[in-house]
């Protein structure tokens, strides 16, 4: 997912439905508190960890929408975080998960 693609729920949801267990989001755009809220929401609603990479910020949200890493930098740097993809698969396997609870027939045109 590149830069502003994160603004729309459909981008992350589509990738998750196609089997993505983690999404990387390189960007040079917005990286403030609103972005933090958007990234947490996208991860939570699609049960997908997101790695957000910006020259001034490294952000990692897990599949539950929790922030596991939020490093900010005055000069570009890097961060390291461990990801448990087994936990993502386990979350999605639950019959009550968001991905299983979707009702696409409600929003068909």
Give the per-residue pLDDT at 70. 95
Phi, psi of 69 (to 5 degrees): -155, 135
Taking 50 as the pLDDT cut, the residues of the chain under it are: none
CA dist., res. 22 & res. 20, Å (int)? 6
Give the per-residue pLDDT at 41. 96
Give the per-residue pLDDT at 13. 93
> CATH assignment of 3-107?
3.60.110.10
CA dist., res. 95 & res. 76, Å (int)? 42
Least Cα distance to 45 among 101, 109, 89 occurs for 101
Give the per-residue pLDDT at 109. 64
Give the per-residue pLDDT at 58. 92
- Structural tokens at position 2: 């590149």
CA dist., res. 66 & res. 50, Å (int)? 10
Report the share of the chain in percent with pLDDT over 90: 62
Give the per-residue pLDDT at 77. 81
Give the per-residue pLDDT at 49. 97
């Amino acid at each position: 997912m590149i830069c502003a693609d994160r603004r729309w729920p459909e981008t992350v949801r589509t990738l998750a439905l196609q089997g993505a267990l983690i999404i990387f989001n390189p960007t040079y755009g917005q990286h403030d508190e609103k972005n933090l809220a958007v990234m947490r929401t996208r991860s939570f609603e699609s049960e997908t960890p997101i790695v957000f990479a910006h020259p001034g910020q490294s952000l990692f949200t897990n599949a539950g929408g929790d922030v596991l890493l939020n490093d900010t930098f005055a000069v570009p740097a890097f961060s390291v975080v461990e990801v448990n993809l087994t936990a993502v698969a386990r979350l999605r396997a639950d019959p009550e998960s968001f991905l299983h609870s979707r009702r696409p027939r409600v929003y068909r045109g």
